[in-house]
């Protein structure tokens, strides 16, 4: 799991651990990752989504991955015109890195004939909601949604990929005014990782209910 040391990612990791899953959290800050992993009773690896050279070592250190949760995200609200690097960073963290991690995890999933990819997205990246996300955030999430929609056609048999929106969650990114707890935001991701039908793929959910792209 990416970004599992705090916020929604921490809540997802906690929920998966409670269900008996062997969880490995990836964190850009090594110490923060280790501290969170100690609290959760799981493992951690160094994984910086803006540093592609950390991807393969992190996956290799994690062992065989049956469930990949692409959770980490950034919110850069600057104008894409006057601050184009914000869009570039958003695309790297929330689109390019998740795709590269999927590619790294697929060999094991293919051999196993089973696997699940859960992408933490947002209604701010949904065309049905007007793509209201600020700066490059909505564009990057829209790209992640498109990947989640289109990739099933190339996925091996038995491997699913779905996207979900956690809602407005009280985290460092979401802010103190957000009405939902990290646990509430994590629920659908845990459901997709463990309990949703194995053949459910290429869909977008919020609160375990399918949403329009």
Q: Is residue 79 part of a domain?
A: yes
Global confidence as pTM: 0.94
Whether the pLDDT of residue 44 is over 60: the answer is yes
Domain interval for residue 67: 7-210
Q: Is residue 39 part of a domain?
A: yes
pLDDT classification of 170: cutoffs 50, 70, 90? low
| Structural domain total, the chain | 1
pLDDT classification of 130: cutoffs 50, 70, 90? confident
Distance spanning both ends of the chain, measured CA to CA: 24
Q: Is residue 76 part of a domain?
A: yes
Q: Is residue 1 part of a domain?
A: no
Q: What is the pLDDT of residue 73?
A: 93
Q: Is residue 2 part of a domain?
A: no
What CATH number corresponds to the domain at position 45?
Answer: 3.40.50.720
Average pLDDT over residues 35-50: 98
Q: Is residue 98 part of a domain?
A: yes
Q: Is residue 22 part of a domain?
A: yes
For the chain, give the DSSP string: -BTTTSHHHHHHHHHHHHTT---EEEESSHHHHHHHHHHHTSEEEE--TT-GGGHHHHHHHH-S-SEEEE-------S-TTT-HHHHHHHHIIIIIHHHHHHHHHHHHHHHHT-EEEEEE--GGG-GGGT----TTHHHHHHHHHHHHHHGGGGSPTTEEEEEE---SB-STTT-TT--B-HHHHHHHHHHHHHTS-TT--S-EEETTEE---
Q: Which of 1-5, 53-57, 63-67, 159-163 has the lowest mean pLDDT?
A: 1-5
């Amino acid at each position: 799991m990416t970004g599992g040391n705090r916020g929604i990612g921490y809540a997802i990791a906690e929920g998966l651990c409670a269900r008996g899953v062997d969880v490995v959290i990836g964190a850009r800050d090594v110490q923060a990752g280790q501290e969170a992993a100690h609290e959760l009773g799981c493992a951690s690896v160094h994984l910086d989504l803006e540093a592609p050279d950390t991807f393969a070592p992190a996956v290799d250190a994690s062992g065989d991955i049956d469930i990949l949760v692409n959770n980490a995200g950034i919110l850069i609200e600057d104008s894409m015109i006057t601050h184009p690097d914000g869009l570039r960073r958003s695309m790297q963290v929330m689109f390019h890195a998740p795709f590269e991690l999927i590619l790294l995890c697929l060999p094991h999933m293919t051999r196993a004939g089973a696997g699940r990819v859960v992408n933490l997205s947002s209604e701010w990246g949904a065309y049905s909601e007007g793509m209201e996300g600020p700066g490059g955030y909505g564009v990057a999430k829209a790209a992640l949604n498109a990947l989640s929609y289109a990739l099933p056609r190339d996925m091996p048999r038995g491997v699913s990929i779905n996207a979900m929106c956690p809602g407005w969650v009280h985290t460092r990114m979401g802010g103190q005014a957000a009405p939902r707890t990290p646990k509430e935001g994590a629920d659908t991701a845990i459901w997709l990782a463990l309990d949703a039908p194995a053949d459910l793929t290429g869909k977008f959910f919020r609160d375990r209910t399918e949403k329009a792209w």
